[in-house]
Structure 1
């Protein structure tokens, strides 16, 4: 049912035929990258967090990015707390491995992390553990109804690795 809600979502732009369905799993960043034939960073993973009150929110980030708790708290004003798999399904209508900002069961705030801006196009899931679509960043922003671009991730720009290398070489 979930991939159907995503295809219905893309129908408004006549893009439902662009949803790719695979015979292999694309549930993890690594599986999706291998299945599609791109580097893992180009997989646009959708992370689900508790919002304020009973709400939930989504952050779409590059496949090689990790949430930085300090940046998240600074940006949103509260601690980053991931939803449980049951809560993800309840809010999004999508199972873990197919979560995306399209065809959502409930209205949710969607944010795009700047880690994606390195690429002209990325590959978010489409509601199932074996689907994706290639979108430009402009299309991702438009089709996801994203509220804004945020900087809440780390580990993708090389700065952390460089700092670690300097620290270990100075010992």
Structure 2
């Protein structure tokens, strides 16, 4: 189960106990915000893309949308999300629980600038009813990310 992979990953910093396992679904930004009692934009959604035959994960604010021009500038190709049936195989988590913790080897993870405006955010933890509240600094420590990028729109307008 993917949440067990996430717990093992976060145990490196002794924070696996901070994972919130919810009674209700947190599979979408809206459901997660409702279940957690926070603003939807504070949900740190993880978006899965195929870039040059490799999987890329972009963690962005709940109100951010991928800007195709910015994506192409950074990755040199059009934004192509993984099909629902490819996500578990390529990323290591099912749709609804995708997060930047405990992912498959070879997945490139990027954090989007849209997250930096918050003190804390809520990424999922490998299941459709889990999350963890992290500061941006904690997110940086616990996520094996490549770099901060700016590939989203709709959040700073």
Q: TM-score, normalised by structure 1?
A: 0.90
Q: How does 1:3-82 map to 2 (within 5 A)?
A: 3-52=3-52, 54-82=53-81
Q: Which residue of 2 aligns with 1:162?
A: none
Shift of 1:106: 2.9
The whole-number CA distance in structure 2 between the counterparts of 1:36 and 1:28 is 12
Report the CA distance between 1:144 and its aligned residue.
1.1
Q: CA deviation at 1:97?
A: 0.7
Distance in 2 separating the partners of 1:70 and 1:155:
14
Please, which runs of 5 or more residues in structure 2 have no aligned partner?
none
The structural deviation recorded for 1:18 is 0.6
- 1:16-165 to 2 correspondences below 5 Å: 16-52=16-52, 54-158=53-157
Count of residue correspondences: 157
TM-score by length of structure 2 reads: 0.97
| 2-structure distance, mates of 1:37, 1:154 | 24
Displaced runs of 4 or more, over 4 A: none
Aligned partners of 1:58 and 1:104: how far apart in 2? 9
Q: Hey, what's the Cα distance between the residues in 1 that align with 2:119 and 2:153?
A: 20
Rounded to whole Å, the distance in 2 between the matches of 1:39 and 1:151 is 21
| Partner SS state of residue 59, structure 1 | strand
| Greater radius of gyration (CA) | 1
